[in-house]
Chains A and B, each alone.
Chain A
Amino acid sequence: MPEFSVIVGPQHPALKEPESFTFWVDGEDVVRAEVRIGYAHRGIEKAAESRTYIQNIPLIERICGICNVAHTICYTQNVEYLYGREIPRRAEYIRTIIEELNRIHSHLLWIGIAGHEIGFDTLLMYVWRDREVVMDLIEEMTGNRVSTALMTVGGVTRDITPELATRIRKGLDILEERTKYYEKIASGESTILARTKGIGILTREEALKHCAVGPTLRASGIKSDIRADDPYAAHDEVPFDVITTDTCDLFGRVVVRVYETIEAIRQVRYCLDNLPSGPVRIRLPNTPPRGESVSRVEAPRGEDIHYVRSDGTDRPARYKVRAPTLGNLASLVEMLTSKGDYRVRVADIPIVLAGIDPCMCCMDRTSRFIEPSKGKEWVWTWNQLRKYGRMRER
Chain B
Amino acid sequence: MGVDLESAQEIRENEGKIMAMQRELLRHIFKKAVTLRYPFKDKEKVHIPSDFRGKIAFHRDQCIGCSMCFRVCPAEVIEMIDDEKGKRPMFYLDRCTHCAQCEDVCPTKAIELTAQYESAGTDRTQMILK
Contact = CB atoms under 8 A, between A and B. Distances in A.
The answer to whether any beta carbons of A and B sit under 8 Å apart in the complex is yes
B72 interface: yes
A188 B74 contact: no
B18 A190 contact: yes
Contacts of A190: 8, 11-12, 16-18, 20
B15 interface: yes
Contact of B53 (A140, A149, A184, A185): A149
Nearest to B3: A194
Contacts of A49: none
Interface stretch (A10-18, A31-39, A50-58, A371-379): A50-58
Contact of B21 (A56, A122, A129, A158): A122
Given A189-B21, A193-B16, A56 B74 contact: yes
Nearest to B47: A136
Interface stretch (B37-45, B58-66, B86-94, B99-107): B99-107
B72 A55 contact: yes
Contacts of A193: 11, 15-16
Interface in B1-39: 1-3, 7-8, 11-12, 15-21, 24-25, 34
Given A58-B74, A190-B18, A348 B101 contact: no
Given A59-B74, A139-B49, A185-B20, A194 B98 contact: no
Interface residues of B, number: 33
B52 A139 contact: yes
Interface string A209-234: 00000000000000000000000000
A144 B72 CA distance: 20
B97 interface: yes
A157 interface: yes
11 contacts: A51-B74, A54-B72, A54-B101, A58-B74, A58-B97, A123-B21, A149-B98, A189-B18, A189-B21, A197-B11, A347-B1
A331 interface: no
Contact of A144 (B8, B24, B25, B53): B53
B2 A143 contact: no
Given A58-B101, A149-B99, A152-B104, A143 B49 contact: yes
B16 A149 contact: no
Interface of A: 51-52, 54-59, 61-62, 122-123, 126, 129, 132, 139-140, 143-144, 149, 152, 157-158, 181, 184-185, 187-195, 197, 199, 345, 347-348
Nearest to B49: A140
B75 interface: yes
A188 B16 contact: yes
- Greatest chain A CB density within 10 A among B34, B75, B113 is at B34
Contact of A189 (B20, B34, B71, B74): B20
Nearest to B51: A143
Contact of A194 (B11, B51, B113): B11
Nearest to A51: B74
A188 B15 contact: yes
A149 B51 CA distance: 13
Contacts of A187: 15-16
B76 to A, nearest CB: 10
Nearest to B17: A190
Nearest to A184: B20
Contact of B2 (A123, A144, A345): A345
Contacts of A194: 1, 3, 7-8, 11, 16
B73 interface: yes
B123 to A, nearest CB: 14
